[in-house]
Structure 1
């Protein structure tokens, strides 16, 4: 019996392992004998077949039908793989090639991808439909009791992905719809990264795929890596609509915990996802009382530790009595809030009677929330306002017999060092990835130094532009009129349109450079909250960029105004000057691409 007959026999019984093993063995044996990259017993030119497959030309294959299952590229792509990935993919070619050699239907390449994997990945909906139709024509596999079509749908590649995994990852909604409806009873398992199709869809915000999986699949699995679920992913990404869709079908996921003991509400609270937090609490308030694995922190603690006051208010409104819960160090929500919130936020928090009463509560070391405030913030009148607002006791002492007033005066303390360490802590296996406490000291000192150096450099550039544009305004191109009269001392070129453009551009450069200087000045003020500092740091460089662009335009228009009698020279100067925008856009593109 020849090799093709053996392959066809394997296909008729849907024995995928036999097909893959046979193809690999024949490929290796032939490559050894002929020292070539493709199997070609008849010594025909393999490039002819591959080129024909890429162009959708079926004619060369009709005369060499016995070679089709054995012709592969160095990475084991068959002629069917080649056609599906080419720009000239052809439904007619796919149908005819499988009519000639049915074994290609389940033959995999070096990555373990079947033609269905490739078609799903490359968004070829019609090819997916044809492959499924032809697979259905195969006989039912006797042992498993499933047909070749479902066997093909359930095959996984080297990454553990089925064709549905690939379709979801590449956001091909039409293919997802087809695959799900063809095998609605199959529970798609996780791939090698621990991701199920539903988890992937939730993570990337693929709402139509989430809907199809939940509505059509009778048992859609929801697992993700590190014990997370699709609801964790939706909450982490702040997808409110997806969160609702998942909860409609799988409400029990609200209590599912990951390897760190986090529920989806923990994720939403930690990352500041207020809209999702509200949805989760609407469906199940009890999750607000669940503590995590390592520090026994509830979602309320996490929201306070990251400075998310809106989420603090939201959780308190749904579950008022969870305010008194403490973590494994005895810290309540106000301890965390004192370490992260600014004056305005803390004063607004004092308006909540339940939280205000926590000001006298002590942790396991005897520290009240005011001790925490004193450890992380130098004393000032604004701090006194907070103390008065909470009606706290500055003479309250901890177990080291240190009161709040003394702690305000200390430049270094054990509590301050503890809080600084908490701002860096990431847990045993990656929990609290942004640190337990998200306050200013939580940013690494190296990063702060880099920001300070960058700020100084930007300030120099902004000040230089302001100086140059200021000087240019009083040394106008073309000079001034010297004749006696009411126009004496005015610009000679004042009626020239290029000169007028120069004046406007120079003014814009001056204004935006001064805005940048002012922003960097504000950033240097003491007690500026970190959020405001970072916001200004993001905005101020754009002021400098606008000022630089306006300065270039001022140079070009001013030069053109004085050189317009020599038109060729004026145009050449303008073209050379404006090339800076091309170079700036290129540099900007490289920067964005690196991000």
Structure 2
């Protein structure tokens, strides 16, 4: 299977690597031609727009090559007067931001610099990200979490005094962030509540089912002793353990989801606490669902499969189907939060 995947995918990987190398080679060739045919005083008309566009798209390799051959390119500015690092902050270009931070020797200047409106880097980071950057993360909750992470990254870089500094409109960075992200926060809260309520109902249903199954037990009990008929059967042991795991995990999941619903939906909550609770709640709900289907399979085998071993095959298929559906339908939500939770790791 792995060999088949490798054979199928490797041509595409090789082609992309080849295209990347060809593109970088073409870039160097163009730069060499510019340096050979033009005077240094006219270089800026060739590299200004490309480096700004590369910064906007977070193409850090292009920025690195351009700055290597044209050191003054780092001084390029947009029509609004923002330099490369300010433009990287506005566009959430984390790789370019990190690259320029490592390359440039004037980091202390960047820590305190302001634009024409008196905005420092944190003021710029507090603005709402461009729509094309927000759309990279499905769901308002993931988007607000990503915005908060970027704000914290820039906050760690700038001068401490700049955190509470006011711009020409007498606004602090935090004031701008709250104002710019007000609607996104409302959407994130609605999304989180509606999603968690659905999961809570699912967990409650599992609790009801598994509690009833644990009391009745498959096959019933001996009328005289009260001991379950299939006590000595291995499948009954599997049922009992699975039922206990499913019930416990469902209870845990429901309590976590209820804590999310009743929690205050603040900016700090969306940064770490709420996404972490949602991931844990989804994980325990998955464990509960899996254990429930195992218990279901063990029950079917106890009732119908004692003399028909072949029934294990349809039981396994029936038990696997809901688990597979859960993974395909709900795990993308968890994966979104996991990828977002990693944030801008590696920056600074």
Q: Same fold (TM over 0.5)?
A: yes
Change (3 A) 1:179 1:230: closer
Give the alignment partner of residue 336 of structure 1, picking from 173, 187, 191. 173
1:261 touches 1:291 (CA, 8 Å); kept in 2? no
Give the alignment partner of residue 286 of structure 1, picking from 96, 101, 109. 109
Change (3 A) 1:478 1:450: same
1:466 touches 1:513 (CA, 8 Å); kept in 2? yes
Question: In the alignment, which residue of structure 1 is the partner of 2:5?
Answer: none
2:55 touches 2:87 (CA, 8 Å); kept in 1? no
Alignment partners' CA distance in 2, 1:323 and 1:178: 42
Q: CA deviation at 1:503?
A: 2.4
1:466 touches 1:510 (CA, 8 Å); kept in 2? yes
- When the two structures are superposed, what TM-score results if normalisation uses the length of structure 2? 0.63
Change (3 A) 1:278 1:470: farther
1:186 touches 1:219 (CA, 8 Å); kept in 2? no
Higher relative contact order (CA 8 A, sep 6+): 2
Question: In the alignment, which residue of structure 2 is the partner of 1:315?
Answer: 158
Question: In the alignment, which residue of structure 2 is the partner of 1:263?
Answer: 83
Asked if 1:478 is matched to 2:219, the reply is yes
Q: CA deviation at 1:245?
A: 6.4
Describe how 1:548-559 pairs up with structure 2 within 5 A.
548-559=289-300
Question: In the alignment, which residue of structure 2 is the partner of 1:509?
Answer: 246
Change (3 A) 1:511 1:178: same
**CA RMSD of superposed structures (Å):** 4.4
Question: In the alignment, which residue of structure 2 is the partner of 1:230?
Answer: 54
Change (3 A) 1:222 1:535: farther
**Which protein has the bigger helix share?**
2
Question: In the alignment, which residue of structure 2 is the partner of 1:297?
Answer: 119
2:253 touches 2:281 (CA, 8 Å); kept in 1? yes
Change (3 A) 1:222 1:513: farther
Alignment partners' CA distance in 2, 1:514 and 1:589: 19
Describe how 1:460-475 pairs up with structure 2 within 5 A.
460-475=201-216
Count of residues in correspondence between the two structures: 288
1:510 touches 1:547 (CA, 8 Å); kept in 2? yes
Asked if 1:497 is matched to 2:317, the reply is no
Alignment partners' CA distance in 2, 1:466 and 1:277: 54
Which protein has the larger Cα radius of gyration, Structure 1 or Structure 2?
1
Q: CA deviation at 1:570?
A: 3.2
- When the two structures are superposed, what TM-score results if normalisation uses the length of structure 1? 0.40
Alignment partners' CA distance in 1, 2:300 and 2:168: 70
**Deviations 1:247-273, CA, capped at 9 Å, x for gaps:** 554443443233454433335545494
Describe how 1:60-79 pairs up with structure 2 within 5 A.
none
Alignment partners' CA distance in 1, 2:86 and 2:154: 11
